[in-house]
Structure 1
Amino acid sequence: MIFILLIIVIAVGFYFFKSSYTYWDKRGVPGPKPKLFFGNFGQSFLFKKSPAEVYSDIYNDFPDASMVGVFRANSPTLIIRDPELIRDVAVKSFRNFQDNELIIDKKDDPLLGRHPFFIGGEEWRTTRVLLTPGFTSGKMKWIYPLLEDVSKHFIKFIEKRIESTKTETHNAKDLCVRFTLDNVTSCALGLEAKSFEEETNEFRYIADRFFTPEGWKNVVLYLVTIIPFLSKFVSVKFLSKEIEEKFTNIVVETLKYREANNIVRNDFLQMLHQMKKSSNDDSFTDLEITAHAAGFFGDSYETSSITMHFLLYELASNPEAQTKLREEIVKAFDENEKLPYEELQTMPYLDAVLNESLRLHPPLGSLNKMCTESYTYVPRDNDVIKKPVIIEAGTPVILPVYGLHRDPKYFDDPNSFKPERFIGTNKEKIVKYTYMPFGEGPRACLGQRFGILQIKMGIAYVIKNFEVSVNGRTKSPMKYNPIYFMTIPNDPLWLDFKKIV
């Protein structure tokens, strides 16, 4: 009887999966043939490629299609290829696709469950309006001297490390984490992380574990991205209880100290605290303050450190671009005692190298959205899809950022580092919605202004003071980590820093 029941279960499972794989065929949407149980993500199941890289491969395999139908396990998922359709999804028909796919329950993860990226519907809209004042140009100007101070300490740290260790070789990610961690603790919490003075401390401990669930939880989180229906049976939680408690204690104690000593500091935490005091809504609690401070902390140190260390690597790999950037930076410093905020904003080559690095290594290789209200796509004349397609509510919709950024149709010689793409008329020629490292539309990254500012500041100081080159310990060709949800290399990027006298 057990054997018979087992056969029946296998047969039913086989039929269930097999029948679901006709979903896109019935709608006239092209796509690769799925494999039983794995769908189109066998390489992700085997940890060979990240989902974003798989999306990119499929994107490249269907160059004439506006959209491609795929399956993650047996879940129908839609990859959007056409820039005009991406505009509809991200902006024009935003109400039909207003949520990101991954929603975290606040009961499972009280802090990141309140992050704008992981919430949806009206709650997202309210939170977005609430937090926007913290990222205005006025706020950026105010925190600019703080970033400048950290940048000076950053240069001294590299110089001292070279002198004490007698080596110019450094792990680029480690250096950039120290830099962004000191920035975010200063600008968000009004505290000193002391990343340049101490090899490890409480802030570094929190940072190293912030977006990295421990043990099997990391595997569960990864599996949810390639087997979506698992989210119905398992909870998604980034922050461990330990990290949650440590960060909460830091915020609570900081606010208590400020209240007791009548300290007012124009930073992100103070803005949140003031919102609570002036709010008539009892739902804006200390937990809300802590959650939004945690969101700022996580976004600003991790995404920025990843982006910055990729940019240093590209400049080290392309010495001509590095020299050209240094000339622009030295000129800016020579004309000013310090590097003014307005000057940093108007350095075209610095802006170009950052944009080009983001094109090659976007922080998120794909933007995973959810259809929240059914949408009908009417094919255009040159589309291989010949009849209208109804994208049903509840269908995951993928914007394949990595595939778009490296498409030779939009970027000539797409695998090469060419900052000139983003200068003058060349920048104006870039097809809209083919370059979106921070997303597009209302769901675009709220903290991108702060991230860009601190990266530009750090790069300006480093390139002014050091010649950077790739050390032989760096593995080539670079391969991305297949499990981490952001774009990071499998192996460290080792760079040499030679002091410019």
Structure 2
Amino acid sequence: MFVILVSIILLSLSWLAWRHWARRRNYWKRRGVPHLPPHPLLGSLTFLQRENPMFVILVSIILLSLSWLAWRHWARRRNYWKRCGVPHLPPHPLLGSLTFLQQENPSVWMRRMYDRFRGPYVGIWLFWRPGLIINCPEIARKVLVKDANVFKDRFLSSGKTDPVGALNLFTVKDPLWSSLRRRLTVVFTSHRLRALHSLTADKCADLVHRIRNEIQQNKYTDLRVLFADFTTDITGCAAFGLSGEATLTGHRAMRRVTRHFMAYSMLRGLCWSSIFFCPQLVDVFGFSLFPESATKYFKEIFRTVVKKRGGYDRKIDEPKDLLDALLKIRQESLNDKEEISEDILVAQAAIFVEGGFDTSAGAMTYAIYELAFHPEIQNKLYEELLEAKNQYGVEGLDGNVLAGLNYFNCVIKEVTRKYSSMGWLDRIASQDYRIDDKLTISAGTPVYVNAIGMHYDPDYFPEPNKFDPDRFLPENEKNIKPFTFMPFGEGPRSCIGKRFGLQTVRYGLAHVLLNYEIEPVPDAPTPSQAKIEKRGMFLMPGEPLRRALVRNNIVEENY
């Protein structure tokens, strides 16, 4: 499939070249100047061919020389890592190391590179551009924390033609990133998260009712769809204060937008591949992180809610959701003579919804998926949740209580170890940087910290394919080597929504597990056999994961 996409790129480049030529050939015509119709290659110099029969031979020599120079340049590039003494993949002449795209999930490919090259780093090519995969926790610490000032920016980019995609906290470059990160940190304080308790509890009740209805209809639940409906409602309300009904019905305006965001098409595949691994193509083809329909929707809903609440100048003492916090940030920036545009505000709300709903839904999906095949873990977890429910009541199961349940959080950590939604952490060096005594990389070199590779390294996590929450018990977790477990990243550019995402996952899983026993569907693949989505960027199921959820009669009716 990626070969087809590359063919489209080459055809598109040819079309752009022809379009440029078409504009150039009409240059004098547009100015009303008499002119000779130009030759596509020689322009008006065709007379040289008639005057000098050797001209065609000379042009041929020039073209062959240019081809030879291009090949010589490639030969030098392809030996770049060899000259540096770095283990590397032999690059493809056109694609470099990216032949896996659209054929293998990037996180799966990262794991394969980790197992194939057991050294501290691996050289790769992003088309003709050298990049470096980091497999070593000590070097990861330097890149992500100690020398984070050298690696402030991500390599991925959504380009200048997509302000909402390019100006959100995930993709934006420094110094705007530093300003936004500092201002947005207040959105995810413990106080703000506690304020979401009532909303989240209501949606958990909807989730339990939805499952009950599907059981009564003898349906096997598609877990990813179910939990994506739930997390869309949570993120939508936290961002805009909107009350969604996707958890109950699966049909709501915002859910249509989030569903479209993750839907695959050949064009979206090319778009995602370019944004993450070849951002130079993004502006050339006008690619965008968000589909046009999603950008339009978020701008409209943002303006509508702002107007309904009294406009941009409304005084905000205590923000009640992300939108209020963004408006307050804008007001403070005006006082600091640092204007924050509407595109920047919309970008933060959009990435909060789009980035938050699917990652949380994926974690919940894989948690239920694993528990269905591990009844002993499920029973132990159920006993812990039941004890907390008996002590605090259903309404008392708030974020603080759930965050304090030891085994529950071990299960969630093990899920994020095995199924990190994005198994690598990308950065770009802003200056020449000494990796170790043997290697110095040039400014502009992309660097990928191979988090998923370290998550599956048996030296750090024995029997890494085994689902074993006990490895995160306090007496065991203290033995985990720093920077070998990074599901949310590390350092200044780690996931700002980590606490919100974990709270959403805890609430949803707790209410499902208190009310239902999970069993595998007959003939369902085991976790190690389940397909992974090959064509996307994130580690998500490649097939519907259906599980039978049986009413747990031990628990009294809670809803």
Normalised by the size of structure 2, how large is the TM-score? Answer: 0.82
Aligned to 1:470: 520
Q: Contact 2:164 / 2:347 at 8 angstroms: preserved in 1?
A: yes
- 2:116 counterpart (50, 53, 61): 61
1:31 maps to 2:88: yes
Q: Which runs of 5+ in 2 are unaligned?
A: 1-55, 554-559
Aligned to 1:495: 547
- The letter of the residue matching 2:123 is G
Distance 1:10 1:217 in 2: 33
Aligned to 1:353: 411
- CA RMSD in angstroms comes to 2.4
Deviations 1:250-296 (A, max 9, x none): 12111212228999861111122233334424622433332221121
1:160 maps to 2:213: yes
Q: Contact 2:158 / 2:289 at 8 angstroms: preserved in 1?
A: no
Distance 2:397 2:249 in 1: 28
Distance 1:111 1:42 in 2: 29
- 1:131 counterpart (184, 195, 209): 184
- Please state how far the C-alpha of 1:12 moved relative to its aligned partner: 4.2
- The letter of the residue matching 2:95 is F
- 2:321 counterpart (257, 267, 272): 267
- Please state how far the C-alpha of 1:333 moved relative to its aligned partner: 0.1
- The letter of the residue matching 1:62 is F
Distance 2:292 2:100 in 1: 32
Q: How does 1:93-172 map to 2 (within 5 A)?
A: 93-105=147-159, 107-163=160-216, 165-167=217-219, 169-172=220-223
Q: Contact 1:95 / 1:373 at 8 angstroms: preserved in 2?
A: no
Structure (1 or 2) with the larger CA radius of gyration? 2
Q: How does 1:3-402 map to 2 (within 5 A)?
A: 11-44=68-101, 47-63=102-118, 65-105=119-159, 107-163=160-216, 165-167=217-219, 169-212=220-263, 215-223=266-274, 225-227=276-278, 229-231=280-282, 233-259=284-310, 266-278=320-332, 279-280=334-335, 281=337, 283-337=339-393, 338-379=396-437, 388-402=438-452
After superposition, the Cα gap between the structure-2 partners of 1:431 and 1:75, relative to the gap in structure 1 and judged at 3 Å, is same
What is the DSSP-based 3-state SS (H/G/I as helix, E as strand, rest coil) of the residue aligned with 2:397?
A: coil
- Please state how far the C-alpha of 1:210 moved relative to its aligned partner: 2.7
What is the DSSP-based 3-state SS (H/G/I as helix, E as strand, rest coil) of the residue aligned with 1:56?
A: helix
- Please state how far the C-alpha of 1:38 moved relative to its aligned partner: 3.5
RCO higher in 1 or 2 (8 Å CA, sep ≥ 6)? Answer: 1
What is the DSSP-based 3-state SS (H/G/I as helix, E as strand, rest coil) of the residue aligned with 1:96?
A: coil
251-260 vs 406-415, which deviates more? Answer: 251-260
- Return structure 1 stretches of 4+ with deviation > 6 angstroms: 1-6, 260-265
Aligned to 2:17: none
Q: Would you say how many aligned residue pairs link Structure 1 and Structure 2?
A: 487
Aligned to 2:11: none
- The letter of the residue matching 2:366 is F
After superposition, the Cα gap between the structure-2 partners of 1:139 and 1:257, relative to the gap in structure 1 and judged at 3 Å, is same
- Please state how far the C-alpha of 1:3 moved relative to its aligned partner: 8.3
Deviations 1:451-478 (A, max 9, x none): 0001011000001101112224644512
Distance 2:202 2:535 in 1: 35
1:445 maps to 2:473: no
What is the DSSP-based 3-state SS (H/G/I as helix, E as strand, rest coil) of the residue aligned with 2:247?
A: coil
Q: How does 1:406-425 map to 2 (within 5 A)?
A: 406-425=456-475
Distance 2:170 2:129 in 1: 22
After superposition, the Cα gap between the structure-2 partners of 1:113 and 1:439, relative to the gap in structure 1 and judged at 3 Å, is same
Percent identity over the alignment is 27
Q: Which runs of 5+ in 1 are unaligned?
A: 380-387
Q: Contact 1:359 / 1:437 at 8 angstroms: preserved in 2?
A: yes
- Please state how far the C-alpha of 1:205 moved relative to its aligned partner: 1.0
Deviations 1:173-198 (A, max 9, x none): 01101111111122221111111343
After superposition, the Cα gap between the structure-2 partners of 1:32 and 1:88, relative to the gap in structure 1 and judged at 3 Å, is same
Aligned to 1:384: none
Deviations 1:352-394 (A, max 9, x none): 0110011111010211211112111333xxxxxxxx3111111
- Please state how far the C-alpha of 1:78 moved relative to its aligned partner: 0.6
After superposition, the Cα gap between the structure-2 partners of 1:341 and 1:41, relative to the gap in structure 1 and judged at 3 Å, is closer
- Please state how far the C-alpha of 1:9 moved relative to its aligned partner: 6.0
Normalised by the size of structure 1, how large is the TM-score? Answer: 0.91
Q: Contact 1:172 / 1:495 at 8 angstroms: preserved in 2?
A: yes
